Amino acid sequence: MSTVSSFQAQMHDGPLDGNNKCSTPGSCCAGGGNSCGTSGSVCDFTVPPASAQPASSSAPASSSQPSSPQSPSAPASSPASYPPPPLLLAPQPPAVSNVSADPPMAPPPRPSPVSCKSDTIWAAPPSTGEAQAGTTVPTFEITTGSPSSVTSPLFTWNPIQNIVKNAAAKWGGYFTVTTPSSGTTYSTATPPGPATGPFGCAGCAKNDPSRGYDVGGVVLQVRPISSTASVATCALVIRNNPSATVIVKEAHFYASYNQIPNFNPGQFPSASITGLPGYEGTTVTMTQTVGGTKNSTNAPIFMACHFTVSVC
pLDDT digits over 166-218, tens only? 656 578 999 999 999 999 999 998 666 667 899 999 999 999 999 999 999 99
pLDDT of residue 237 exceeding 90: yes
Burial class from Cβ neighbours inside 10 Å (0-12, 13-18, 19+) for residue 67 reads exposed
Of the candidates 144, 162, 237, the residue with the CA atom closest to the CA atom of residue 197: 237
Paired strand residues for 308: 120, 250
Of the candidates 141, 173, 136, 138, the residue with the CA atom closest to the CA atom of residue 156: 136
pLDDT digits over 119-178, tens only? 999 999 999 999 999 999 999 999 988 889 999 999 999 998 888 776 565 789 999 999
Of the candidates 215, 189, 188, the residue with the CA atom closest to the CA atom of residue 201: 215
What pLDDT was estimated at residue 154? 96
Distance CA 15, CA 67 (A): 46
- 168 and 130 in contact (C-beta within 8 Å)? no
What pLDDT was estimated at residue 298? 85
pLDDT digits over 27-66, tens only? 555 444 444 444 455 555 565 666 544 444 444 444 444 4
Q: What region, left, alpha or beta, does residue 168 occupy, with left being phi > 0 and alpha being psi -120 to 50 degrees?
A: alpha
Distance CA 73, CA 93 (A): 40
